[in-house]
Amino acid sequence: MDKWGHLLLAALCRQPRRFNELKRELDGVTQKSLTQALRRLERNGLVERWVLMQRPVAVKYRITPLGRTLEEPFSILRSWTADHLPEVERHREAFDKGADTLH
């Protein structure tokens, strides 16, 4: 799963959202990337799309029961990241310094 897919599922676990709400919430996502990520999630059965019959017609996205099963593993991953980020950053820094000496 890519960066946007993970962030979309996290947002949709909290509540269903319209396309533009998701676009505003995910800082930096392009319309094209958001559309592609939502389609992938829908294709995989993790998100469902429904049309709201109103003027103008609107589309809303919500997480499916299958998508909701990812909520716990994602929570564990976020916790692990928070706990280990300083160590990961030290490794990145050491790696980058070593890569500079190779060139």
Give pLDDT tens digits for 35-94. Answer: 999 999 999 999 999 998 888 888 999 999 999 999 999 889 889 999 999 999 999 999
Q: What pTM was estimated for this model as a whole?
A: 0.78
85 φ, ψ (degrees, to nearest 5): -55, -45
Could you tell me where the beta strands, DSSP code E, fall in 1-103? Answer: 17-18, 47-52, 58-63
Let me know: does 49 contact 14? Beta carbons within 8 Å: no
